[in-house]
Amino acid sequence: MAGFFKLSPQGQRLVVMITSVPILVSTTWILYRRVIHGEDPRKRTPQQAGRIDAGKTPDA
């Protein structure tokens, strides 16, 4: 948003709220499920790990 258009201070606050509230709600919900319900964090499958760690040498 840097320099593309000028917003009033009220418009800037609205943009911040529109972008931050969904992130806040989703992270709160994930942490709630993990802490209160004891749900384990998602595990990466070997396929996902290979795609993310492409180019790294596997540990023996």
On average, the pLDDT of the chain sits at 81
48 CB-contact burial (10 Å; exposed 0-12 / middle 13-18 / buried 19+):
exposed
State residue 49's pLDDT score: 64
State residue 24's pLDDT score: 97
Q: What digits encode the pLDDT tens for the residues 10-34? A: 999 999 999 999 999 999 999 999 9
